Chain A
């Protein structure tokens, strides 16, 4: 089992270019998340999907769109990249239950916008 996979691992964009970050999970979890990690800022939630067919905004959604393609896949799109979107992006999954709520993270995509 691969767990949570993300593609690409690295990407360099020019300001104004668009791209889609891909995330796939084989853990059969209902919920999926996109976070960005910046030095000294910790993890900030961009968007999440509680279940297939639903998406909701997190703390920092501006400049991003998401698609929950099916239960396995959750993509993050930057329509017009800006230097402020230079960051490391993590996809995570988790079962949508109360109680102990462990999240499983992918290895990350390191994005630089010039």
Chain B
């Protein structure tokens, strides 16, 4: 089955770039997601990438995928205090098996002035 791993904490200074990392184990074609959870709220999809892509950029967010190492990263440029949240990596198979996403444990991003 799938397994998704991420580090639990990241602390950055406002204005710096943040890089949140994730590794996954599913070897088939898969969708990989980044969700954001703000304090006291549910998760919200930030962005996603298909496993045949290397990179996806959306405004301040850049997703990089290293298929060989099964490593996914989320880079947030010019990090702001409003980016403080828990970020979850998740994956779901594109075909076959269960379509239900498997979530990592979440990375708490703390942005300090």
**Known A43-B88, A101-B99; 18 more pairs at CB < 8 Å:** A4-B42, A40-B8, A43-B103, A48-B100, A96-B99, A100-B31, A100-B50, A101-B92, A101-B101, A102-B33, A102-B45, A103-B43, A103-B101, A105-B43, A107-B40, A107-B41, A107-B42, A108-B42
B50-104 residues with Cβ-Cβ distance < 8 A to A are 50, 88, 92, 94-95, 99-101, 103-104
Interface of A, secondary structure class, is loop
Q: Which 5 A-B pairs have the closest CB atoms?
A: A105-B42, A42-B105, A43-B103, A105-B43, A101-B92
Residues of A within 8 A of B (CB): 4, 33, 40-43, 45, 48, 58, 90, 92, 96-103, 105-108
Task: Give Cα A91 to B62, complex, Å.
Answer: 28
Residues of B contacting A92 with CB < 8 Å?
Answer: 42-43
State the Cβ distance, B20 to closest chain A Cβ, in Å.
14
Using a CB–CB cutoff of 8 Å, the interface residues on chain B facing chain A are 8, 31, 33, 40-45, 48, 50, 88, 92, 94-95, 99-101, 103-106
Chain B residues whose C-beta falls within 8 Å of the C-beta of A99 in the assembled complex: 31, 94
Q: Give Cα distance in the complex from A48 to B106, angstroms.
A: 21
Contact A101 B8 (CB under 8 A): no
**A45 contacts which of B92, B100, B104, B105 (Cβ < 8 Å)?**
B100
* Chain A contacts for B88, CB-based, 8 A: 42-43
Point out the residues of chain A lying under 8 angstroms from B45, CB to CB: 102-103
